């Protein structure tokens, strides 16, 4: 959301209904490995979610879609979905990648302690999982999005570890 990786002509806050942001997808490439999977945020069913919508030039749509497919569909863990984006009191269609709950990388109902443990230990091509989570949280807080649960997990990550 904060590093889209493609050229856009406009970015705006957007809200979707029927989906929530959740640490619900095991990452075995960017934030973990098959031996030590990390966790990344995804859109899962239920609730609502505030994020950002990007508008791209019509002439760039095909290349942006190709880029997004290469990045997001690497393990086929998402379902590309057209959703109603609520932007400035208007509803516009937009593409989102919703987690496929039948995919083996989907996880749900992890405890805060388990999530913190995974975030602390995992690292992938994109770097440490802990850094990903904290950076995401910083950007969400800048947007005014904050959940008590993710704040609790952040506090766990910032506590000194018993093993040194």
pLDDT digits (tens, 9 = 90+) for 6-48: 999 999 999 999 999 999 999 999 999 999 999 999 999 999 9
| Residue 17, C-beta contacts closer than 8 angstroms, at least 6 positions apart | 48, 84, 86
Tell me 35's DSSP state: S
- Predicted confidence at residue 161, as pLDDT, reads 62
- Predicted confidence at residue 162, as pLDDT, reads 55
CATH number of 10-158: 3.10.490.10
- Predicted confidence at residue 147, as pLDDT, reads 84
- Predicted confidence at residue 106, as pLDDT, reads 97
Average pLDDT, rounded, for the chain: 93
Model pTM?
0.89
């Amino acid at each position: 959301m904060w590093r889209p990786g493609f050229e856009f002509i406009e970015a705006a806050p957007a809200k979707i209904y029927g989906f929530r942001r959740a640490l619900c997808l095991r990452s075995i490439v960017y934030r973990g490995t098959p031996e030590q999977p990390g966790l990344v945020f995804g859109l899962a069913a239920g609730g609502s979610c505030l994020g950002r919508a990007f508008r791209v030039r019509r002439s760039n749509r095909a290349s942006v879609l190709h880029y997004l497919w290469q990045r997001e569909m690497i393990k086929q863990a998402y379902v590309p979905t057209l959703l109603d984006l609520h932007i400035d009191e208007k509803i516009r269609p937009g593409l989102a990648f919703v987690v496929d709950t039948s995919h083996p990388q989907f996880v749900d109902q992890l405890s805060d302690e388990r999530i913190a443990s995974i975030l602390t230990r995992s690292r992938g091509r994109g770097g440490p999982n802990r850094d990903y989570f904290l950076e995401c949280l910083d950007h969400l807080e800048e947007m005014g999005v904050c959940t008590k649960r993710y704040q609790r997990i952040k506090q766990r990550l910032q506590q000194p570890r018993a093993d040194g």
